[in-house]
Amino acid sequence: MQLIIDVGNTRVKAAIFDDDVMVAKKVMALPLFIENLGDFVADYPVKKAIISSVGRLSEEQARSVQLRFPTVVLSHNTPLPFVNDYSTPETLGVDRMALVAAFAKAYPGKNGLIIDAGTCITYDFINAEGHYKGGAISPGIRLRYNTLHNLTANLPLLETHMPEHIIGDSTEMAIHSGVMVGIVKEIDGIIDQYKHDFEVDTVILTGGDTETLSKRLKNSIFAHSNFLMEGLNYILRRTND
């Protein structure tokens, strides 16, 4: 069995895979990661692990995992199941690497666009020949709400809300329209452009805001809540084969 660890800015997602099947998953607060990990893995014969970190995982926390299991710490030097044509591969986020790896496994021979709707919205394109070309990074939902509040004197900080109409008839509804309708139109527009320019035939939407956004998109997408974890598992299996 494989232990998959995805470290964000404040939380850690951990999963146990048996071959390609996820058999357990847990979300933990980053400061309590090591304390909670022992209980999580106690009932599983874990043989190896992979760590993907875009957050502030300490050396001590990483070492605790490495001392317990043979561990891959994902980086641009890790063997990947695609050709990385990014001009600065050392700056490519490990989360984006994992998403592209998941696509390479699930949809070989397809032109694909992977959209991860989280703190940021990332767009990643891999062609049918298995070459990763790059993509885009855009502010996510909460980042847009927070920025409007933090960088202006009079705009309130609002909770996420999908408006029914594009015209906001109050300041609050205008913010909701600008953030939420704006993101939906952005995603649909980018999908349309990739379909036109690169004949993209498969679009994946994943990340924490998938459910909020997927119902409002006009384009057909495949929603995969565990796509990143599946990609990490695939990278780990190939690295250790």
Q: Which residues carry out catalysis? A: 95
118 is in an annotated binding site: no
Rounded Cα–Cα distance for residues 105 and 19 (Å): 13
Return the percent helix, strand and coil in the chain, to nearest 5: 40, 25, 35
* Residue 95 assigned as binding residue: yes
Kindly report the backbone phi and psi dihedral angles of residue 9, in degrees, each rounded to the nearest multiple of 5, phi listed first: -75, -35
- Is 203 annotated as a binding-site member? no
91 a known binding residue?
A: no
DSSP characters for 24-49?
EEEEEEGGGHHHHHHHHHTTS---EE
Has 171 been labeled as part of a binding site? Answer: yes
In whole angstroms, give the CA distance from residue 232 to residue 95.
9
Question: Is 94 labelled a binding residue?
Answer: yes
The SS3 assignment for 131 reads strand
Q: 191-216: buried (b, 16+ CB within 10 Å) or exposed (e) per residue? A: beebeeeeebebbbbbbebbebbeee
> Any binding-site annotation on 93?
yes
12 is in an annotated binding site: yes
85 is in an annotated binding site: no
| Binding-site annotation, residues for substrate | 86, 93-96, 171
| Binding-site annotation, residues | 6-13, 86, 93-96, 116, 119, 171
| Binding-site annotation, residues for K(+) | 116
